[in-house]
Structure 1
């Protein structure tokens, strides 16, 4: 088994409430948490309204499959979140 970790730092300019922050993040946990090979959590910037950090852990039978899954997640987040991805870090275990 191969494991990959993707951490995304997201800027949410102009966000004024926790409710707005949840709406702008677009239900990342529900969307990606349904995939049987992916675990997802909001891992940082919990107290800041204008920023969010999310970590995704993917498991697959090969390294390229993990990389493809993480690339797909990153692409969907960049297109589906009302914010800007400032940083994306990947780690393969």
Structure 2
């Protein structure tokens, strides 16, 4: 079994309220949490309106599938989040 932990830091320039921050992040829990191989949570930057940090834990039986799913999540984030992905770090356990 392979486990990948991927942390994504996102910049939200001009974000003025917590409500706007939630809207701009667009329901990451609902989108990615539906997949039984993925767990997702907001892991940092709770107090900052102009930044957000999310951690994804991806589990699978084959390393290429886990890495592929991580890449897919990263690509979708780049396209769908109303912000700018500043940093992505991955760790394979």
Does the TM-score normalized on the shorter chain lie above 0.5? yes
1:83 is aligned to: 83
- SS of residue paired to 2:20: helix
Structure 2 SS opposite 1:16: coil
> Could you tell me the TM-score, scaled by structure 1's length?
0.99
Structure 1 segments of 4 or more deviating over 2 A? none
Aligned to 1:70: 70
Query: Which residue of 1 is the match for residue 59 of structure 2?
Result: 59
Equivalent positions of 1:1-93 (< 5 A) are 1-93=1-93
Provide Cα deviations, 1:29-75, integer angstroms capped at 9, x if missing partner: 11001100000000000010000000000001111111000000000
The alignment partner of 1:54 has SS state of strand
Segments of structure 1 that go 5 or more residues without pairing to the other structure are none
Q: Which stretches in structure 2 are left out of the alignment for 5+ residues?
A: none
d(CA) in 2 for partners of 1:55, 1:48: 17
